[in-house]
Amino acid sequence: MSTATGTPIPPTADPLTEALQFLRMEGIFYCRSELTGPWSLGLPPMPDCIWFHVVTAGSCVLVDSGGARHELRRGDLAVLPHGAGHRAADDPELEPAPVMDLPHDYLSPSYAVLRHGGGGPPVDLICGAVRLAHPAARSLIEVLPEVIHVDPSTSRRALEWLPSVLGMIAAETAEPRPGGEAVVTRLCDILVISAIRSWLDTDPAARTGWLGALQDPQIGQAVALIHRQPEHDWTVADLAATVAMSRSAFSARFSELVGEGPMQYVTRWRMHVATDLLREEQLTVAQVAERLGYASEAALSRAYKRTTGTPPGLVRRRGPIDLRAAG
């Protein structure tokens, strides 16, 4: 495979894997909840975050922001990709107690144990909120449903990995040790990404939008190449040639599957990458322009402001996202 100019580009074996690599997460808050009935918890919205809950003992009901109820049993995983406010309870009719107002036993600034309830039947949860560190991840998250519920009893693939990961999380949170928080963070990455994979495997809605386009043999390759080489001077003809399609057929199919034209997507992806380089790596606008193949700092600045509405210098001055300032 090569570009129209003859530059060789290796094929992408799994475009979806490359896309999921942008789900770089940072832990904000983890909590082991030891609950006894009756109990009801209100969990606040967490902008730009992902909430998740794992039931390690007993069962409960999760009520999402739209009022839909999700029955969770031991071993189930629920992920709320948009960080929306919600409730978890053994009796959803109870008035929820705001979880942040309850007393916690903090083992570290971002890890706590919560004990709450009326002394009845026990329910144990591992809950967490993680923030997306890469701006490009938002374009992936925005196409996901409000709640992804992974039930190992109905998903053979989930059954293969979930018990082992849950066991490791339970061991690390039950007896905190040096480095335990980093271990839990990585394990939670696995939980969230695996939940998204489960949704991709089972929900017809996953076949639409740019995420669904990744599963198309040709358009998926083109999207992955854009992700891998945003600095390349892509043209529609160039991208079409890499996947052995005519220019017109490629453009029409790309627009149909992704929801925007190829060059619009190239520009938007470059701006995602530019945001990460400016904010997280603190590169100068000139350095980012050079990294992304723009002829000048001014050219990048014009494209960035046109696409995002914000001057790139302002994004850089804001500095890295404060991953501890949620709530």
Question: Which of the pair, 78 or 319, is modelled with greater confidence?
Answer: 78
DSSP 228: H
pLDDT in tens, 20-58: 766 667 767 788 899 999 999 999 998 778 999 989 899
> Based on C-alpha coordinates, what's the Rg of the chain?
22
Question: Cα dist. 30→129, 142, 173 in Å?
Answer: 7, 23, 9
pLDDT in tens, 163-212: 778 778 777 766 767 777 778 777 877 888 888 878 877 777 766 666 77
263 three-state secondary structure: helix
pLDDT in tens, 75-85: 889 999 999 99
* 129/184 Cα distance (integer angstroms): 12
For residue 299, give the H/E element and its range. Answer: helix 297-308
pTM of the model: 0.75
Please report, rounded to a whole number, the percentage of residues in the chain having pLDDT higher than 90. 45
Least trusted range by pLDDT, from 128-137, 280-289, 307-316: 128-137
* 138/82 Cα distance (integer angstroms): 9
- pLDDT bucket at 72, cuts 50 / 70 / 90: very high
pLDDT of residue 173: 67
Cis (ω within 30 of 0) for the bond into 15?
A: no
Give the domains, in start order, of the chain with CATH numbers: 23-205 (2.60.120.280), 210-318 (1.10.10.60)
What secondary structure does DSSP assign to 38-90, as a single string?
S-EEEE---TTEEEEEEEEESEEEEE-TTS-EEEEETT-EEEETT---EEEES
* 43/83 Cα distance (integer angstroms): 10
**226-234 mean pLDDT:** 91
Amino acid identity, position 28: I
DSSP 272: H
Put the strands of the sheet holding 148-150 in their side by side order: 104-108, 111-117, 25-36, 122-132, 49-57, 77-80, 148-150
Beta strands 111-117 and 104-108: pairing type? antiparallel
- pLDDT bucket at 107, cuts 50 / 70 / 90: confident
